Structure 1
Amino acid sequence: MAFGQTIISGKVLDEKGISLPGANVFIKGSFDGTSSDASGAFSFESSESGDQLLVVSMMGFKSQEFPITLSQSKIEIPSIKLIEEFNEMNTVTISAGAMEASDEKKSVILRPIDIVTTPSAMGDIVGAFQTLPGTSTVGNDGRLFVRGGDASEVGIYIDGMRVGNAYGTTAGNVPTRTRFNPNLFKGTFFSTGGYSAEYGQALSSTLALNTKDLAKRSQGDLSIMSVGGGYSHTLANEKRSISISGNIFDLKPYQALIKQNFDWERAPFGRDVELAAQQKTSKGGLWKVLARTESGGMQLWQPQPGMPDRGLLIDLKNTYSYAQTNWRRGFENGWSLFGGISFSQNKDILNLGGLDLERKNQLSHAKWTAGYDFSDRLAVKNGVEYFRNDYSEVLTQESLERSFGENQGFLFTEWDWYLSRKLVLRSGLRAGISSLAEEKWLDPRTSLAYKISKNGTLSFATGRFHQLPEERFRILAPSLKNTESKHLILNYLYQKDGKTFRAEAFHKSYDHLVRFEGIHQNPRNVRNEGDGFARGFDVFFRDRESLKNTDYWITYSFVDSKRSYFQYIGQVQPDFAPKHNLSVVVKHFVPSLKSQLGLSWSFNDGLAYTDPNLTGEMNSKTGMFQNLSLSWSYLPQPNLIIHGAITNVTGHQNIFGYQYAQNPNEQGRFESLPLGQGAPRFLFLGIFFTLSKDKNANNLNNL
Structure 2
Amino acid sequence: MKATIYIILILVAQPIFAQTNIQGMVKDQRGETIPGVNIFLKGTYEGVSSEIDGSYILETTLTGEYTVIFQAMGYKSFEKDVLLEGKPITLSVTLREAINEMTAVTISAGAMEASDEKKAVVLKPIDIVTVPSAMGDIIGAFQTLPGTANVGNDGRLFVRGGDASETAIFIDGMKVGNAFGTTASNVPTRTRFNPNLFKGSFFSTGGYSAEYGQALSSALALNSVDIPARSQGDISILSVGGGFAQTLTGERNSITASANYFDLSPYQKLINQNFDWERSPYGWDTEISAKQKWGISGIIKAYVHTEASGMKIWSKQPGSEERGQLVGIGNQYTFAQGSFKQLGKNDWSYYGGISFSNNVDNFDIAANEIQNQNRLLHGKTVAIKSFSDKFSLKTGMETYILRYSEELISENLKREITDYQYNLFTEADYYLSNKLVFRGGLRSGHSSLANQTWLNPRFSLAYKFANEGQVSLAAGTFNQMPLEELRIINQALQNTQSEHLILNYFINKNGRTLRAEAFYKGYKNLVTFEGQRFNYSKIEQAGEGFAQGFDFFYRDQKSFKNTDFWITYSFVDSKRQFAMFTEMVQPSFAPRQNASIVVKHFVGKLKSQIGTSFSINDGYTYHDPNFPGQMNAKTRSFQDLSLSWSYLPKPNMIIHMACSNVLGRENVFGHQFSGQTNENGRYESSPIGMQATRFLFLGVFITLSKDKTANQLNNL
Match of 2:11 in 1: none
Within the alignment, does 1:522 sit opposite 2:535 as a pair? yes
Q: 5 Å matches for 1:125-524?
A: 125-519=138-532, 522-524=535-537
Residue by residue over 1:615-662, the C-alpha shift from the partner in whole angstroms, topping out at 9 and shown as x without a partner, is 000100011000000000000110000000000000000000011112
Within the alignment, does 1:34 sit opposite 2:48 as a pair? yes
Q: Which amino acid aligns with 1:183?
A: N
**Matches of 1:319 and 1:308 in 2, distance apart?**
34
Residue by residue over 1:581-619, the C-alpha shift from the partner in whole angstroms, topping out at 9 and shown as x without a partner, is 000000000000000000000000001111000000010
**Matches of 2:532 and 2:17 in 1, distance apart?**
100
Aligned partner (choices 33, 41, 57) of residue 43 of structure 1: 57
Q: Which amino acid aligns with 2:128?
A: I
Aligned partner (choices 669, 673, 677) of residue 664 of structure 1: 677
Match of 1:644 in 2: 657
Match of 2:585 in 1: 572
**Matches of 1:656 and 1:551 in 2, distance apart?**
31
Quote the offset at 1:105 in angstroms: 3.8
Equivalent residue of 1:128, what SS?
A: helix
Within the alignment, does 1:22 sit opposite 2:30 as a pair? no
Match of 1:617 in 2: 630
**Matches of 2:79 and 2:63 in 1, distance apart?**
17
Equivalent residue of 1:671, what SS?
A: strand
Matched-pair contact (CA < 8 Å) for 1:24–1:35: yes
Residue by residue over 1:134-184, the C-alpha shift from the partner in whole angstroms, topping out at 9 and shown as x without a partner, is 000000000000000000000000001000000000000000000000000
Q: Which amino acid aligns with 1:74?
A: P
**Matches of 2:592 and 2:293 in 1, distance apart?**
48
Equivalent residue of 2:605, what SS?
A: helix
Match of 2:643 in 1: 630
Matched-pair contact (CA < 8 Å) for 2:311–2:330: yes
Matched-pair contact (CA < 8 Å) for 1:641–1:688: yes
Residue by residue over 1:365-385, the C-alpha shift from the partner in whole angstroms, topping out at 9 and shown as x without a partner, is 011111100111110110111
Match of 1:57 in 2: 71
**Matches of 2:323 and 2:696 in 1, distance apart?**
27
Matched-pair contact (CA < 8 Å) for 1:89–1:105: no
**Matches of 2:42 and 2:191 in 1, distance apart?**
60
- Name whichever of 54-63 and 558-567 sits farther off: 54-63
Quote the offset at 1:64 in angstroms: 1.6
Matched-pair contact (CA < 8 Å) for 2:173–2:352: no
Residue by residue over 1:256-293, the C-alpha shift from the partner in whole angstroms, topping out at 9 and shown as x without a partner, is 11111111111100000011110011232100001000
Equivalent residue of 1:376, what SS?
A: coil
- Name whichever of 567-576 and 97-106 sits farther off: 97-106
Matched-pair contact (CA < 8 Å) for 1:93–1:106: no
Quote the offset at 1:520 in angstroms: 5.8
Quote the offset at 1:31 in angstroms: 2.0
- In the TM superposition, structure 1's runs of 4+ consecutive aligned residues that sit over 6 Å from their partners are none
**Matches of 2:614 and 2:352 in 1, distance apart?**
41
Equivalent residue of 1:253, what SS?
A: helix
Match of 1:596 in 2: 609
Q: 5 Å matches for 1:60-99?
A: 60-77=74-91, 79-99=92-112
Matched-pair contact (CA < 8 Å) for 1:88–1:105: no
Quote the offset at 1:454 in angstroms: 3.0
**Matches of 2:187 and 2:176 in 1, distance apart?**
22
Aligned pair count? 702
Matched-pair contact (CA < 8 Å) for 1:520–1:567: no
Residue by residue over 1:223-243, the C-alpha shift from the partner in whole angstroms, topping out at 9 and shown as x without a partner, is 100000000000001100000
Quote the offset at 1:455 in angstroms: 1.6
Equivalent residue of 1:631, what SS?
A: strand
Q: Which amino acid aligns with 1:29?
A: G
Matched-pair contact (CA < 8 Å) for 2:17–2:61: no
State the TM-score, normalized to the length of structure 1.
0.99
Q: Which amino acid aligns with 1:406?
A: D
Quote the offset at 1:103 in angstroms: 4.4
**Matches of 1:610 and 1:257 in 2, distance apart?**
35
**Matches of 2:239 and 2:116 in 1, distance apart?**
34
**Matches of 1:325 and 1:33 in 2, distance apart?**
54
Please, which runs of 5 or more residues in structure 2 have no aligned partner?
1-13
| 1:171–1:325 CA distance, 2 compared to 1 (3 A) | same
Quote the offset at 1:72 in angstroms: 1.9
Equivalent residue of 2:229, what SS?
A: coil
Matched-pair contact (CA < 8 Å) for 2:74–2:100: no
Match of 1:586 in 2: 599
- Name whichever of 399-408 and 100-109 sits farther off: 100-109
**Matches of 2:431 and 2:398 in 1, distance apart?**
27
**Matches of 2:709 and 2:280 in 1, distance apart?**
37
Please tell me whether Structure 1 or Structure 2 has the larger radius of gyration of its CA atoms: 2
Residue by residue over 1:544-573, the C-alpha shift from the partner in whole angstroms, topping out at 9 and shown as x without a partner, is 111100100000000000001111111000
**Matches of 2:254 and 2:345 in 1, distance apart?**
25
**Matches of 1:412 and 1:164 in 2, distance apart?**
21
| 1:199–1:342 CA distance, 2 compared to 1 (3 A) | same
Within the alignment, does 1:106 sit opposite 2:119 as a pair? yes
Residue by residue over 1:178-200, the C-alpha shift from the partner in whole angstroms, topping out at 9 and shown as x without a partner, is 00000000001000000000000
Q: Which amino acid aligns with 1:5?
A: Q
Matched-pair contact (CA < 8 Å) for 1:520–1:566: no
Quote the offset at 1:519 in angstroms: 4.7
- Name whichever of 314-323 and 351-360 sits farther off: 351-360
**Matches of 1:636 and 1:148 in 2, distance apart?**
44
Match of 2:25 in 1: 11
**Matches of 1:197 and 1:52 in 2, distance apart?**
47
**Matches of 2:687 and 2:454 in 1, distance apart?**
43
Q: Which amino acid aligns with 2:400?
A: F
Q: Which amino acid aligns with 1:30?
A: T
Equivalent residue of 2:536, what SS?
A: strand
Within the alignment, does 1:701 sit opposite 2:710 as a pair? no
**Matches of 1:139 and 1:367 in 2, distance apart?**
35
Q: Which amino acid aligns with 2:565?
A: Y
Matched-pair contact (CA < 8 Å) for 2:646–2:655: yes
Equivalent residue of 1:662, what SS?
A: strand
- Name whichever of 432-441 and 451-460 sits farther off: 451-460
Matched-pair contact (CA < 8 Å) for 2:102–2:119: no
Equivalent residue of 2:410, what SS?
A: coil
- Name whichever of 353-362 and 316-325 sits farther off: 353-362
Quote the offset at 1:453 in angstroms: 2.5
Aligned-residue identity in percent: 57
Please, which runs of 5 or more residues in structure 1 have no aligned partner?
none
Q: Which amino acid aligns with 2:144?
A: T
**Matches of 1:350 and 1:314 in 2, distance apart?**
7
Quote the offset at 1:509 in angstroms: 0.3
Equivalent residue of 1:22, what SS?
A: coil
